[in-house]
Structure 1
Amino acid sequence: MGSGSETTCLTIPEHVLTSSGRRMQRLGFGTAAYPLVTPEVTKAAILQAIKLGYRHFDTAYIYGSEQPLGDAIVEAISLGLIKSRDELFITSKLWCSDAYGDLVLPAIHRSLQNLKLEYLDLYLIHFPLSLERGLYEFGVRKEAIVPMDFVSVWTAMEECQRLGLTKSIGISNFSCKKLADILAFAKIPPAVNQVEFNPLWNQKKLREFCNANGILVIGYSPLGASGTLWGSNQVLENEVLKEIADTKGKTVAQICLRWAMEEGVGVIVKSFNGERMKQNLEIFDWSLSEEESKRIDQLPQSRCSTGELFVDEHGTFKTVEEFWDGEV
């Protein structure tokens, strides 16, 4: 690999997960594409990302991107872009229809088979709910939602780590209350809570709770998830962010990602566009001023990922407020 790629790789800040000692780049590369793309497109984007210096890759069974990610890793090693799989940090997620104590181990084995890997670096519970067994679709039927048995599912997640199938375990889309429910009985606490995070939904309360309990917050939709199934809170159209970007000669996306780095949060950024993939890495040799950070901190807040997909007046979660335990 050329010296430019090596230099890029070295400049990305890292976080050490206390549960495993594994080093993880705080800027990760997301593989969830919406609308869906072909496996070939996903694989090509991942290979380009590896060439640019990305080493942290985020996937999930429901994304359909585990197999192309696995194929890309095999090819990256054969091309000499990386020496071994150990240079990468790979996250995948337990889908809701496998969120039962007896299905967790089969689910992680299936993900590992798709990825052609012997272990994950991080395995997350995708959402704090279960679906009827056997439902592998992202467009959730609300009548199929059932409450998750946190104890049996988290105990099985801990077994995944004990068996060496994953180096660390964590959660995604959990409120402070639901996270506290896990912490009340966990023998291995979650290493990560992956949640929506951007300048228009900065998760201050959740971050304080996670920091107090030694849990790293990793943000998805750092640019607002424009054009996705779950909507957008107009991050890229925000006038304050545009003004700061113009002043600094940066893109709004770069302002958002630099702000996240300065907030101490990990982020998963997804773009299969080569130029934007490169731009997303060009955030480490400059900083925001105190005044710029203050202006971002004062922006009005609103969720993009509201949880409406899971809410039904006759269902498990009857309101958005109930899904997020009032953290809206």
Structure 2
Amino acid sequence: MPLPATIPLPGGLAMPAVGLGTFRVRGQEAVDAVSWALAAGYRHIDTASIYKNEEEIGTAIRASGIPREQLFITSKVSPYQQGTEAATAACEASLRLLGTHIDLMLVHWPGVAKVDAASPDNAAMRRQTWRVLEQLHRRGQLRVIGVSNYEIKHLEELLGYAEVKPAVNQVECHPRYQQRDLRAFCQAHGIAVVAYSSFGSSQLLSDPAVQAVVAAEGITPAQALLLWGLQRGCGVLPKSVRRERIEEAAPARLAGLGELSPEALAALDALEEQQQQKYCWDPSGIA
């Protein structure tokens, strides 16, 4: 069965389920990667202010000639930009550098840079940041708003005061770190989950269990891990600067593969039971 190509968001917006990640991709490399992705059929590009590549992404988007209404652009307010004044400036800068409205703006991290993780200032400043996002959403500059790296406790707090509910929570999610409780919470509250680090910082690509699935299904390791994420109801953000890798994970390529077999899906599900492994930042200690 083909997997859904888009994930519904509030206001009738449809987010492409497969997007290009651009973490640590800058300069001409960013322009090339985005250009290749758009040519390969990607319509969702994920960036962040802290990636320092929004201007290059805007350049590639304009050069593509693809009508803006066919594209979906995600960006994020960094931990260094929390609080009313800093978040306002950050959003204005992202809008200026990208040269367009932003379809989805996220609070990148529940904590504030250089503030102790246990400090109540984290909660106070992320609340201020959310109010900024709500205001720009009402103006139409940010079509929907959401968060990234929020755990259940952070989401519960946010839902307690949000006038505009978060549409998305972007988090690390892969077979060795499946976030089952968090995904269930998000589903219960109508929050879409977008998975980053689907490849476990590339370490899962060579995992023996993944390789066994690859041999059985006749697909690549990257495709197996991305299909797992899609079948678990997540959006996915494959990242590469190599054209052949970008094309390997293109939405149409993945759609043409259909679903993983029940046996393959079960084999990947079992990885977390054998050894849970988190490869990226841990927000659990942020108050």
What is the TM-score with the length of structure 1 in the denominator?
0.80
| 1:171 partner amino acid | V
Summarize the alignment of residues 254-273 of structure 1 with structure 2, pairs less than 5 Å apart.
254-273=223-242
CA distance in 1, matches of 2:59, 2:285: 40
Deviations 1:218-270 (A, max 9, x none): 011111123xxxxxxx3112211110101112111110011111111101110
Q: Distance in 2 between matches of 1:321 and 1:28?
A: 26
Q: Which structure 1 residue ranges, 5 or more long, are not aligned?
A: 1-9, 133-140, 227-233, 308-319
RMSD: 2.1
Q: Is the 8 A contact 1:12 1:27 kept in 2?
A: no
Q: Which residue of 2 aligns with 1:157?
A: 133
Partner of 1:6: none
Selected match of 2:271 from 282, 299, 305: 299
For residue 95 of structure 1, report the CA deviation from its aligned partner: 1.1
- Give the share of equivalent positions with the same residue, in percent: 34
Query: Residues 169-248 of structure 1: matches in 2 within 5 Å?
Result: 169-226=145-202, 234-248=203-217
Which of 63, 69, 72 is matched with 1:89 structurally?
72
Structure 1: distance between partners of 2:245 and 2:86: 38
**One-letter amino acid of the structure 1 residue matched with residue 144 of structure 2:** S
The yes-or-no answer on 1:278 pairing with 2:247 is yes
Aligned length: 277
Choose from 61, 70, 95 the match for 1:112. 95
Q: Cα offset for 1:16?
A: 1.7
Quote the offset at 1:202 in angstroms: 1.1
* Higher fraction of helix: 2
Structure 1 residue 322 corresponds to structure 2 residue 285? yes
- Point out which structure has higher relative CO (alpha carbons under 8 A, 6+ apart): 2
Q: Deviations over 1:183-230 (max 9, x none)?
A: 01111110000000111111111000000000000011111123xxxx
| Residue 108 (structure 2) aligns with | 126
Please tell me whether the aligned partners of residues 55 and 89 of structure 1 are also in contact (alpha carbons under 8 angstroms): yes
Determine if contact 2:103/2:143 at 8 Å carries over to the other structure.
Answer: yes
Aligned to 1:14: 6
CA gap of 1:111–1:255, structure 2 versus 1, over 3 A, is: same
Separation in 2, partners of 1:154, 1:180: 14
Shift of 1:306: 4.0
Show the counterpart of 1:47. 35
Corresponding letter in the other structure for 1:103: A
Using the size of structure 2 for normalisation, the TM-score is 0.91
**Which SS does the other structure have where 1:131 is aligned?**
coil
Residue 105 of structure 1 and its aligned partner are, at CA, apart by 2.0
* Partners of 1:297 and 1:176 in 2: CA distance: 22
The reply to whether residue 30 of structure 1 matches residue 6 of structure 2 is no
Q: Output the amino acid matched with 1:284.
A: A
- After superposition, the C-alpha distances for 1:73-129 in whole angstroms (9 at most, x for unaligned) are 11112xxxx1x2111100000011211023222211110111111x10000000001
Counterpart of 1:283, as a letter, is L
Residue of structure 2 in register with 1:317 after alignment: none
**Quick check: 1:61 aligned with 2:49?**
yes
Q: Is the 8 A contact 2:104 2:146 kept in 1?
A: yes
